[in-house]
Structure 1
Amino acid sequence: MWALALGSFGIGTTEFVAMGLLPDIASGLGISEPTAGHVVSAYAAGVVVGAPLIAVIGAGLPRKTLLIALMIAFTLGNAATVLAPNYELLVASRFLAGLPHGAYFGVAALVAAHLAEKGQRARAVSLVMMGLSVANVVGVPAASWLGMALGWRSAFVLVAVIGAVTVAAIAMWVPSLSIPTTSVRVELGALRRRQVWLTLAVAVIGFGGVFAVYTYISTTLTDVAGLSKSLVPVALMLFGIGMVVGNLVGGRLADRALVPGIFMTVTSLAVLLAVFVAAAHNPYTALLLVFLLGAGCAAVGPGLQVRLMDVAEDAQTLAASLHHAAFNLANAFGAWIGGAVIAAGFGYTAPAAVGVVLALAGVAIFAVAVRLP
């Protein structure tokens, strides 16, 4: 479990560290900061493309072999980022580094669920995803500090080292499991199942509101809550700590009662986003809600991941991998809709208000899914 979590820690670090180093990347390559932002988009595109593609191509491989191959690809992609001599190759390297992301989380979740004791599947999945949460608290700040101190490329050297260590850890500590392999035809069969699409829709729409708020959280905290700019990193760390707590709580809720647990956690997002609209006007309540939003966001993940594996039947690898592609789509969708309402003049609390509607839409979609066969 810890070997698998180490991989998710490395993935979480590389996914978010580029955002904090954009000014350094821009100056280092002689490009504008908005242009440098394309490296973040390239990584997200790699996640969305790679999750279904690799899950289908690797359907016939033993799960341990596939995990090792994915982490080798991840390590090489980040090493290519370190060596990229220009903007074009940097964008290409970030796309390549993103390709294994969704498939790794999907396969790692399947392995964790298989290794778990009876009645503790969601808890095992939450432990794997814990690496992603801890990355926001420890990995991203550490890599960002390293990148600012020694140059932005050094941050990705650290990520590549984490990837190499994960390859060794999986090889040594993850047993060869008797999880049945599948085929391209079987895995693609997941796309014919209505319940798979409905569960993915809950992730994309229900989570869009959280990302609408998180994308613009820095300006919201400084301009609306009156928080000092120097304390924004503390707020982001609180969000990450909330994610750690939410992972633990979400895994236990889902193991106790999967469907009610999903209803409870997605509904809680709507409530927290509604409270944030008012709480954002005070620095103390804003910080509290940032922590709670991190917890609420992460609490939904383990339950939805297990639900996807259940409704996918024998096509679990593709379905589990699509879970993380869906979250990246939610990230892109949330950032877009949050920017749209701000640009329309509704202010920086408007993304949270829109998020309430999106979270409730996620609850409604899940209610429909539960009622359908």
Structure 2
Amino acid sequence: MVPSERHPQNPASWSPNSTRTNKEIYNRHRATPNPAESVTFPKLAVTFAEIRILSLLRRPHVAFAMLAVMLTFGGAFAVFTYFRPFFETYTHADASELSFLLLGMGLAGFAGTYGASAVVNKRLYRLMMGMPVALAGVTLALLPAGHNLWTVAILVIVWGAINAAIPVAWSTWLSKAVRDKPESGGGLMVASIQLSIMLGAELGGALIDHFSIGAAFIGGVALMLFSAIIIGSGKRIQPDT
């Protein structure tokens, strides 16, 4: 029995009477490169970038700062994510009033960014501790004033200005506290903020599902106050000299 050329790579199909021609056919097929085997994949360069970024957490001031960052942004987004249902259920805002409130918050962000940039270098740590407290206070004030459209509009504008100033302060801290590894520090901060946004929104949603929008706001306030406690006078998040 002569082995079929369709299965030349199966030595078990050779009969004891395999001839030289059969072996030549087999060897010829073996010498033909298999397209699947000739495909080469680029080697992944192991840069250990993730390890380098996480190694920054060994520095106590960075670890405290990232915890404070996550609490601040997590608390803010536990509130911010659910502003619309708050406006619709507490303030009973219609579509145009809702657009007005959100537009005012957005425009206030420009003022908050500009104002923080003007004073952040002189009073960095006071701002970093004070802004979460101020944001928590405005959030609490929204609950009893939620039924008055104009009061809510003023509070929302203040809330938007403070919220926009917080990233300015943390960016300035990063440039001062992680000077030797700005890229790794920036990556760590971005990852911390993104994770905190997800967790904060999830916390707010869980509190709304089980309790109320007011509970979500109070939960966000608690996170922001914890952040202020961690920051304190700023010594915990200052690099060792």
Structure 1 residue 228 displacement after superposition: 0.7
Q: Which amino acid aligns with 1:276?
A: L
**Structure 1 position 318 matched with structure 2 position 184:** yes
Partner residue, 1:201 = 67
Structure 2: how far apart are the matches of 1:244 and 1:55? Answer: 38
Q: Residue by residue, what CA displacement relative to the aligned partner does 1:43-102 show, whole Å, maximum 9, x if unpaired?
A: xxxxxxxxxxx9949xxxxxxxxxxxxxxxxxxxxxxxxxxxxxxxxxxxxxxxxxxxxx
Q: 2:226 aligned to 343, 346, 361, which one?
A: 361
Higher Cα Rg, which structure: 2
SS at the partner of 2:213?
coil
String of CA shifts for 1:203-255, please: whole Å, max 9, x gaps: 21122222112211111101111111333222222221121111111222211
Q: 1:329 aligns with which of 165, 185, 195?
A: 195
1:245-302 CA-to-partner distances (Å, cap 9, x unmatched) read: 1111122221122111212222211211121222222222222222211111111111
Aligned to 1:308: 174
Match of 1:282 in 2: 148
Q: Report the Cα distance in structure 2 between the residues aligned to 1:348 and 1:188, rounded to whole angstroms.
A: 35
Counterpart code for 1:224: Y
CA distance in 1, matches of 2:48, 2:116: 25
Corresponding letter in the other structure for 2:231: F
1:257 aligns with 2:93: no
Cα distance in 1, alignment partners of residues 235 and 48 from structure 2: 26
Alignment of 1:214-225 (within 5 A): 214-225=80-91
Counterparts of 1:182-193 in structure 2 under 5 Å?
189-193=55-59
Deviation digits for residues 281-326 of structure 1, max 9, x if unmatched?
2222222222211111111111111212322231111112332322
Q: How does 1:10-29 map to 2 (within 5 A)?
A: none
Q: Which amino acid aligns with 2:202?
A: W
Is the helix fraction higher in 1 or 2? 1
Check 1:349–1:229 CA distance in 2 against 1; reply closer, same or farther (3 A cut). Answer: farther
Higher relative CO (Cα under 8 Å, sequence separation at least 6) belongs to 2
Deviation of 1:364 after TM superposition, in Å, equals 0.8
Q: 1:200 to 1:349 in 2, by over 3 A?
A: same
How does 1:138-149 map onto structure 2 within 5 Å? none
Please show how residues 1-373 of structure 1 align to structure 2 within 5 Å: 56=49, 189-345=55-211, 347-367=212-232, 370-371=235-236, 373=240
Deviations 1:317-340 (A, max 9, x none): 111233232222222122111111
SS at match of 2:143: helix
| Letter paired with 1:332 | M
Give the Cα separation in 2 of the matches to 1:356 and 1:368. 20
Equivalent pair of 1:211/1:335 in contact (CA under 8 Å): yes
One-letter amino acid of the counterpart of residue 351, structure 1: A
Q: What TM-score, normalized by structure 2, do the two folds share?
A: 0.71
The separation in 2 between residues aligned to 1:248 and 1:207, in whole angstroms, is 20
Contact 1:204–1:329, Cα closer than 8 Å, also in 2: yes
Task: Give the drift of 1:368.
Answer: 7.6
Post-superposition Cα deviations, 1:132-154, rounded to whole Å, max 9, x if no partner, equal xxxxxxxxxxxxxxxxxxxxxxx
* SS in structure 2 of the partner of residue 227 of structure 1: coil
Question: Contact 2:54 / 2:188 at 8 angstroms: preserved in 1?
Answer: no
Give how far 1:361 is off: 0.2
Give TM-score, length-normalised by structure 1.
0.47
Where does the alignment leave 5 or more consecutive residues of structure 1 unmatched? 1-53, 58-183
